[in-house]
Structure formats: C-alpha cells, structure tokens
Structure 1
Amino acid sequence: MKRAVVLFNLGGPDQLSSVQPFLFNLFSDKAIIGLPQPLRWLVAKLISTRRAPVAQEIYGHIGGKSPLLELTQAQATALETALNAENPVDDFKVVIAMRYWHPFAAEAIGELKAFGPDEVTLLPLYPQFSTTTTGSSVLDWEKQAREHDFAVHTKTVCCYPTDRIYVAAHADLLRSYVSEPNTRVLFSAHGLPKKVVDGGDPYQWQVEQTVAATVSALGQSDLDYVTCYQSRVGPLEWIGPSTDDEIERAGQEGKSLVVVPIAFVSEHSETLVELDIEYAELAEKAGVVSYKRVPALGTNPHYVEALKAAVLGAGDGVAPAGGRRICPGTCGKCPAKAAA
C-alpha cells in the first residue's frame, strides 16, 4: 500500500525579492484578514508593500532568505525514513505543502500524482491548531485537490498539543537550561488577535495545555514560568501577556531568562531574529541577568517519533487520536466535533 504524508508549514521567502509577494500571499488569506474581496486584495497589497523593506532587513540577518524550507525538508526526510523503517509493508512518501511560498499545495499534489498513493495523511507542523494556520492549510489543500482532480482517501491530524512524545521532546531540551537559581522560563508562542481567540479559535487554550504538560514532564514543581506571546503586528488587541513585556518584567525583578519557542518546531525569522537578536537586545537593556534560548525541535528524535505516531494513529476524523476531541466546548472553531 502506498501512503503519503503531507507536511503543512507556513513557508518563507527564498530570496529578498520574494519577501513582498510572500507577504502579499500571507495577508491575502481570508483566515488572516477576513475582509471581502476586493478590499482584502487592496489591504494585502498595501500591507505587503509597506512591510517589505522591514521584512527584508529581518531576513538580511539570516542570509537573505528563510531557512524554513530546508529545515522542513530535513524533517520530511527524517519522518519518511522512520515511517518506512516501522512499516516495511507500506511504502511511505512525505512531501511538503507550504501555505504562502513554494512549494505550494498544488506542487505537492503534483508530486503525489506521480507517486500514486492509496491514502494521504495531512500533518501540520503546527502542534497547536488554529484557524489561521492548520485550518487555512486544510482548506487550501481541499481546494487545490478539487481543482487538480486529486481524489484520494485523506486523513487529517489537526493537532497534537499534549502528545506524550512531543511533550517529552520539549522537556528534554529544556531540562539542561533550568539548573541555575533565580531563573524564569518564558514559553513564547506566536500571538493572535484577541478577537480570533474570542471567536472560538482553540490555539491559546492548546498552547497553555502544551506548556502545562511540558512543565509536568519536566518534574520541577517549583519552576518559575510564564506562557507569553510574541510577534504582534497591527492595531488590534492581541492575546497576552506579550513576550517583550515579560522580558522587561524579568529585568525589573532581577531574573535570568530561558526562552522556549513552544509553538515553533523549526527555526525561522521569529526565532533567529525576534528571539535571538531583538529580544536578546531588549533583555540586555532591561537588565536581565542572563538570557538563553532553547532551540526549536527540528529533527529531534522524540519529535520525529511523535510525528510518526500521529501519522500511524490518524483516524478518519479531523482530530488527534482518530477522532477524539480534546478542546473544551468554548472552542467552537475546533474542527473535531466528537464528544470529549
């Protein structure tokens, strides 16, 4: 049996000239900006044109492009190897579908048509579900599959925020960073506008569940930690507390900081520039005693094992564990409709 896995990720510009069209694709997404057309097109054009010079400067700090594709390719290779070693009877192929830059979903479908799978599993590299990430990627995949006449039995893993092996990967990486006294851990995740979460998006709840599970797995009941959110843009109110505010508070309290990119599984501009450069400079100015950052999971063996388990355990429903809903009833945008 031929089984395909599609890794969903954000994507990133592959050169400085790609920054503006990448941003345009991002802000053209209805899941990001909910305006009707043609207003959304006009707003996306305006924002991407204005933000492109700033974003180009950011990518200039990391070689003039995003490293996300190469890092995702490494994850795809590791996962494909693990799946084929575990299941010699089945033939697994792992491909990548980026949302806002190449390779897009249509390109992944082209690869899979050549492979001819009997079954497809959609697997996000977003451990916590949001309508703005996994939700958007699933809708785009379904649209592209219809347009390219790709009708194959498809399963979807919507999230895995408290998966035991995934959590163990975070705990193992963090353990060596928290031995010093007077240290606070900031679990930093990408933020969202508050209205998105108030509308039933389960992302914040799932991030908090990941943090709680990681702290429990770490086994340090007295751990000083905060869940916070970074990368705020625009005039809307965003979920908090913000990572930069927490850095300044830690400086006022004479704390050392360890920052964990709890919702990022690959290094990219939000980790390599925002966390490593901008927030490190802020920490120094704020008087933070020591500032350290835990790496993203990448191809950590525990994380690859968690991805493999998610693929092999995927049921026919849009949910982890074959259809079991984990979100509370207040998270109306959770795609899993089965009873908790």
Structure 2
Amino acid sequence: MLDSHSTDDPIETAAREAKCPVHAPADHPKIPRAKVGVLVANLGTPDNYDYWSMRRYLSEFLSDKRVIDYSALIWQPLLQGIILSKRPFSSGAAYKSIWNEEQGESPLMTITKSQTAKLRARLTERYGEDVMVSFCMRYGNPSTLKVVREMIAAGCQKIVFFPLYPQYAGATTATANDQFFRALMKEKWQPPVRTVPAYFDRASYIDALAQSVERSYGALETKPDILVCSYHGVPQRYLKEGDPYHCQCQKTTRLLKERLGWDDTQIITTFQSRFGPEEWLQPYTVEEVARLAERGMKNIAICAPAFSADCIETLEEINEEIRESFEEAGGERFTYIPCLNDDEAHMAALEEAIVENLSGWL
C-alpha cells in the first residue's frame, strides 16, 4: 500500500508497462518505465491505541539510538521491563483522545496522506507521469523499507527523500535518513538519491507560518499577550555535541518575528516533550506558560513550528497538558494555532523545496 489516495497500484501499472530493453535478448527481464520518485517521511504512528500496538510502536521508537543514545546494556532492560509495561497504557489513552475514529488512524496519518496527495497532484501537473510521489514513516507503517522497495519495483530509478522536519535534528532528520539508507543497502540496483535539507529558514515556509498566525489572530476578539513557539525538545548535551537543532529553532522564531513585524516582547521560543532525568533544551514549555500566567499574561497563543503535521505532541500535549498548566496558574485564554498540515501555502513551500532537488533529473 503506497497510500490510500492512489486510484491505481503503481506497481501493477509498472508491471503492465514494463518492456524488454532494446537490443536485449528475448529472455531478458522486463524493465518498468523509468520514473523519479519523491518520498516524503514523517516520524510515525502506532497502528492503533491498544496496549500491544502501542508497545510495538514505542519499542521501535525508544530503541532508536538516535532518540535514546544510552548504552543498550543499561537501557534495553529498563525499556523492555519497566517502561514498556506501563507507558503503552498512558500513551494509548493519549492517542485515544485524539484518534481519527472515522478513518481508524491517528491524525498524523490522516494529515500525511493528505499532504502526499496534494504534493502528488502538484508534481504530476508539473512533470506528468515521470514522477511518483509516496510517503513512509520512520516508525510504524508504512515502513521506509516497504515503500522504497515499492518505488523501485514501480520503476523509480532516482529518488528524492524528504524528511518532513523543518529544523534538522539527529533524532528526527538524521534517523529518517539512516532508515532510508538502510533500505537502499538491501537493493541489488541502488537508485541515485538526494535528501532534502531542513527548511527552517526558507522564506516560503516562514511566510506560511506567518499567514497561519495572522489568520488565527484575525479570528480572535482580543489579541494574545504573547505567542509561544513551542518546539520539540532534545537533551541539552546534543547542542554541545554539534546538533544544530537549537540554533535552527531560534532562527525560525526570529524570522517569523521579523516577517510579522513584531518585537521581542511579542514572541518567545520554548521546548516541550522532555523525557528522562537529564537536562533538556530550555525553557520548558509546560513551565514557561505557567510563569507567563503568573506574570499577568492571561491571554496567550501557542504554535509548534517544528511539526509539519498535527500529532500527539500538539493535539494532546500542547492542547491538553500544556493548556492545563497555563490555566491552573491563572491563565484565562489559551489559543492553539494548528500546524501547517496540508495548508496550500505549506504545500507550495514543500513543492518548492522538492522542485529544487529534482533539478537536472526532470
């Protein structure tokens, strides 16, 4: 399954169109018509919110050395014994609160499918049938390995791989690339590939962010006292080890501020989703929103520029846990500004990045 929006199976279509190369002997294997693949990747999602679905997903996610880099001799007994005996229940309950019951999938899956369909329409209009667009997940399904194999079977002799993370981090962009390259290691005939770099400072992305803020503010009766840009956190030591994530998050906020024509008092950068005992990037969103309320800022807005699609960290953590922290500290109005998702300005920014990386190939 490449994605639920396809009207025809690309592999079956490729098999029908496959031909023996000119000048080759009659018994030569048929070769599909050559295409260029565009593969977008997101973090992933459990197949369901029951205990075993959550345990499988969390085990894969939390076993990734890019995410948790502790010694496996220490970490795996702790993970498999203590953490995964309890965490699937709490995480499952969180996923259940946001689950798309109509489609039987998480919001991240629903949104990623829509993003892929819109990108496919845009790129097909531009390049015709010479391009094939699909998506994969780093954790869970559809797996990177499965989709890479499908794309190659469908005739993709070159692939542009696009991790949908605006800011680069080892725990997001790098691990998605790792998995993509691991999939290629299993292929007899490896296609040439390009990976799309982080787009945290791309003007079209910043403009799409600004438009979403302006729309949200325009719909409110009272302008919020401050906009909180909440990014997913990573351990503080990653910054010292050379990960550029923190700097790229700060630059995204600065460029958004400049695009909106604001000053420093109207926007701040915070970090959420802390995990484990060590120090992570600060200030922590859940604590900072409480401090804002205590300092008299009773009306705040919050957005999540590190996420290309709404997911558990935005729909549940921000809009439920972080909102609760703000209100318990005396906050009165809490506005969550949705991720860019499949907004047309966002799709245009992603298309722009893809077209740049297709240069010379199509």
Q: TM-score range by the shorter chain?
A: 0.7 to 0.9
1:104-147: per-residue Cα shift (whole Å, max 9, x none)? Answer: 11111122023211321010110111111110111111111112
Q: Which of residues 56, 59, 68 in structure 2 aligns to 1:24?
A: 59
> 1:235 and 1:182 mapped to 2: Cα distance?
33
When the two chains are superposed, the root-mean-square deviation of aligned CA atoms in Å is: 1.9
Task: Tell me whether 1:266 sits opposite 2:305 in the alignment.
Answer: no
Task: Tell me whether 1:243 sits opposite 2:285 in the alignment.
Answer: yes
- TM-fit CA distance, 1:158: 2.2
- TM-fit CA distance, 1:167: 0.8
CA change 1:68–1:196 in 2 (3 A) is same
- TM-fit CA distance, 1:23: 0.4
Identity, % of aligned positions: 28
Q: AA paired with 2:37?
A: A
SS in 1 for 2:44: coil
Hey, what does 1:82 align to over in structure 2? Answer: 122
- TM-fit CA distance, 1:44: 3.5
Conserved? CA contact 1:177–1:258, under 8 Å: no
Conserved? CA contact 2:55–2:88, under 8 Å: yes
Hey, what does 2:341 align to over in structure 1? Answer: 298
Q: Which runs of 4+ in 1 moved over 6 A?
A: none
Hey, what does 1:337 align to over in structure 2? Answer: none
> 1:22 and 1:182 mapped to 2: Cα distance?
37
Hey, what does 1:192 align to over in structure 2? Answer: 234
Q: How many aligned residue pairs are there?
A: 315
Query: What are the residue-to-residue correspondences of 1:227-238 with 2, within 5 Å?
Result: 227-238=269-280
SS in 2 for 1:259: strand
Conserved? CA contact 2:66–2:170, under 8 Å: yes
- TM-fit CA distance, 1:10: 0.7
Task: Name the stretch that deviates more: 182-191 or 217-226.
Answer: 217-226
> 1:279 and 1:271 mapped to 2: Cα distance?
10
1:253-303: per-residue Cα shift (whole Å, max 9, x none)? Answer: 221110011111111111111111112222211111311010110111111
Q: Which of residues 37, 40, 44 in structure 2 aligns to 1:11?
A: 44
Task: Tell me whether 1:53 sits opposite 2:95 in the alignment.
Answer: no
Structure 1: 5+ residue stretches without partners: 317-340
1:36-82: per-residue Cα shift (whole Å, max 9, x none)? Answer: 54555434323333311111111121137532122111111111111
CA change 1:146–1:40 in 2 (3 A) is farther
Q: Which of residues 193, 197, 201 in structure 2 aligns to 1:158?
A: 197
Hey, what does 1:307 align to over in structure 2? Answer: 350
Structure 2: 5+ residue stretches without partners: 1-33
> 1:49 and 1:34 mapped to 2: Cα distance?
21
SS in 1 for 2:38: strand
Hey, what does 2:186 align to over in structure 1? Answer: 147
Query: What are the residue-to-residue correspondences of 1:96-175 with 2, within 5 Å?
Result: 96-175=135-214
Q: AA paired with 1:57?
A: A
Hey, what does 2:27 align to over in structure 1? Answer: none
Hey, what does 1:287 align to over in structure 2? Answer: 330
Conserved? CA contact 2:136–2:142, under 8 Å: yes
CA change 1:182–1:133 in 2 (3 A) is closer
> 1:222 and 1:136 mapped to 2: Cα distance?
34
Q: AA paired with 1:98?
A: M
Hey, what does 2:15 align to over in structure 1? Answer: none
- TM-fit CA distance, 1:91: 1.9
Q: AA paired with 1:134?
A: T
Q: AA paired with 1:269?
A: I
> 1:129 and 1:149 mapped to 2: Cα distance?
30
Q: Which of residues 98, 102, 110 in structure 2 aligns to 1:62?
A: 98
- TM-fit CA distance, 1:169: 0.7
Q: AA paired with 2:278?
A: L
TM-score w.r.t. the length of structure 1 is 0.87
Task: Tell me whether 1:95 sits opposite 2:134 in the alignment.
Answer: yes
Hey, what does 1:207 align to over in structure 2? Answer: 249
> 1:315 and 1:274 mapped to 2: Cα distance?
36
1:229-268: per-residue Cα shift (whole Å, max 9, x none)? Answer: 0111110110010111111111112211100111111111
- TM-fit CA distance, 1:198: 1.5
Conserved? CA contact 1:297–1:303, under 8 Å: yes
> 2:212 and 2:328 mapped to 1: Cα distance?
27
> 1:150 and 1:138 mapped to 2: Cα distance?
19
1:84-117: per-residue Cα shift (whole Å, max 9, x none)? Answer: 21234x6221111211101111111122023211
1:1-29: per-residue Cα shift (whole Å, max 9, x none)? Answer: 62211111111112123111100001111
> 1:309 and 1:2 mapped to 2: Cα distance?
19
TM-score w.r.t. the length of structure 2 is 0.82
CA change 1:139–1:281 in 2 (3 A) is same
